[in-house]
Chain A
Amino acid sequence: MAEVNFGLQEEAHDKRRTLMARSKPGRTGVALSASDVPPQTMPPSSMLRDDLELPEVTEGEVVRYFTYLSQLNFSVDTNFYPLGSCTMKYNPRINEAVAALPGFAMAHPLQSEGQMQGTLEALFTLQERLREITGMAATSLTPLAGAHGELAGVLTIRAALDARGQSQRMKMLIPDTAHGTNPASAAMAGFNVVSVPSDPNGNIDMEALRAEATDDLAGVMFTQPTTLGLFDRNAIEMCKIVHDAGGLVYGDGANMNALLGRVKLGEIGFDVVHMNLHKTFSTPHGGGGPGAGPICVVEELAEFLPGPVVKVHEDATYHSVMPARSIGRMGGYQGNFGVLIRALTYITLLGDEGMLEISANAVLNANYLLAKLRPVFELPYDRTVMHEVVFSAKRRKGASALDISKRLLDHGFHAPTMYFPLVVAEALMIEPTETESKETLDAFIETLFKIDAEAAEDENFLHGAPYNTPASRMDEARAARQPHLRWEPSG
């Protein structure tokens, strides 16, 4: 944004000023009563930091400042958010209402099981629903995020292989289209990561897979549908090859909303699958807030699941237990309980019919965008897609995927995921989700045609976008090379 020359008066009212800049000595938000606690001896000053200049401001200023910041926020509550491979779908408000019920919100994890039967039953019900949805034998709800679920899944595979007496199996195969968290999770669990290429149709390359099917094979981490938005038609054969070689198949369930009610990964040969409740089951997403990445496993792996898990006894009482040979805990207590309740609400309200509608609409919306945007972009893998579509922006040389994404911000749309997956040059990865209307999709399509026309007319114009946002094009390279990670006084 061009530097605006504020006068003194305006500067005092510039609402962009940080709380630090608003600080005036002696101002407070609250008047504290006289302390009736005896003064304590402070630790020596050498142990205390002296660079913590807390701002002195009134409560009203604090409220206005944070309200202003919240208005700058771009969210799924304000605009269309077609971020590929992230499933930024609407978060139904009833999820919040149910999670806020006092019986859930006020429960304490250290209460006795006798007092907790209702919450334990809710957790048990969610375990069962996820187990049914994935076609698996058992569920652990405790992993706290998607990648945390990946780690729990591969640690479970490690434990199962060790129990088979096959600790030499160290090689984990990962397709080149995988989310970057897959190799990170495998490496963290101690596996050696080997990348497997895709074939020209975007499926896993079966020749390359066969060549790696050796006696040190631990397994494969496989995303179905893939990050190209494609249903990998080699999946069943892939599972067979890996199993025949003595390995196990991990399913990354990040793209599960395309499969709900249609395909059970457990039935086509997967041994472990994680789900991102914040993607598939509409819990709030992003911002580093609480997530949940439950995993479901086949019978052989059930005893190694992270715990605790909830079991029901014959007298219909519910109990929190650690599986017999559990890999341990992935976090405190039962995981992010409030998030689990939100997902259970969504699943319960939609029911079996609703699950089918999620996948139908997710796939329909993505294919609608594919069909309509074909004139604007190249389509590197020209197939019917699942929940998302990956275009290449290289047709028009002057307008990169970055330029187009930045220009979309000017029109009130969040940018799609760009430059991922890595196998597509100038990738724009668009996931509309099932919750968007045709009108929203049409407005998005129309905008991309408009941006394409702008690029045809003057390609330099797009290089300067965005023009209408609170901050203009960021210098991402400088931000990464010379990051300013904390506020410092200017004088």
Chain B
Amino acid sequence: MEIPVDRRYSNEHEWALLEDDGTVRIGISEFAQHELGDVIFVETPAVAARVTKGENMGEIESVKAVSDLFSPVTGEVVEINADIKSRPELVNEDPYAGGWLVRVKPDDAGELDSLLDPAAYKSITE
């Protein structure tokens, strides 16, 4: 199962990638999309909404179940991936790039250091 080394991960299987502009792009891992099965709907927070690390920021619905999305960082949502509204399958097909969910301006980018590194995340998916 692919786990890119350029980002951090949460215990709830979200990834968080620090961009050059200081924002954090968030999505779910390859493992998570595989466990969920075909995704049919994603409910993301709205632009300008506040999200808190470890707290619910939306829902992801697959043919198997509806699961909560948890924010891996605390901050303000600056962009949501408009493509996944019409094409939720992007989350399955391309979870680390085209299937990203939201971009957040973190209050403290240092918060990412408290997330799992790729090796630690790999160990919880085994």
Residues of A within 8 A of B (CB): 180, 402, 419-420, 422, 425, 476-477, 480-481
Contacts and interface: CB of A to CB of B under 8 A. Distances in A.
B78 interface: no
Contacts of B41: 480
Contacts of B40: 477, 480-481
Interface residues of B, number: 14
B65 A422 contact: yes
Given A419-B65, A477-B38, A480-B61, 9 more contacts: A420-B65, A422-B65, A476-B38, A476-B63, A477-B40, A477-B63, A480-B40, A480-B63, A481-B40
Interface of B: 35, 37-41, 61, 63-67, 88-89
Contacts of B65: 419-420, 422
Contacts of B64: 419
Contacts of A480: 40-41, 61, 63
A419 B66 CA distance: 11
Nearest to A480: B40
Nearest first, the 5 closest Cβ-Cβ pairs linking A and B are A477-B38, A480-B40, A419-B64, A476-B63, A481-B40
Nearest to A477: B38
Contacts of A180: 66
A481 B89 CA distance: 9
Given A477-B63, A481-B40, A425 B35 contact: yes
Nearest to B66: A180
A294 B40 CA distance: 35
A338 B67 CA distance: 38
Nearest to B64: A419
Contacts of B67: 422
Contact of B88 (A419, A420, A425, A481): A481
Contacts of B35: 425
A185 B94 CA distance: 36
A476 B61 CA distance: 12
Nearest to B39: A477
Contact of B89 (A419, A420, A476, A477): A477
Nearest to A418: B64
Contacts of A481: 40, 88-89
A480 B37 CA distance: 13
Nearest to A420: B65
12 contacts: A180-B66, A419-B65, A420-B65, A425-B35, A476-B38, A477-B38, A477-B40, A480-B40, A480-B41, A480-B61, A481-B40, A481-B89
Contacts of A477: 38-40, 63, 89
A485 to B, nearest CB: 15
A477 B90 CA distance: 13
Nearest to A481: B40
A443 B66 CA distance: 34
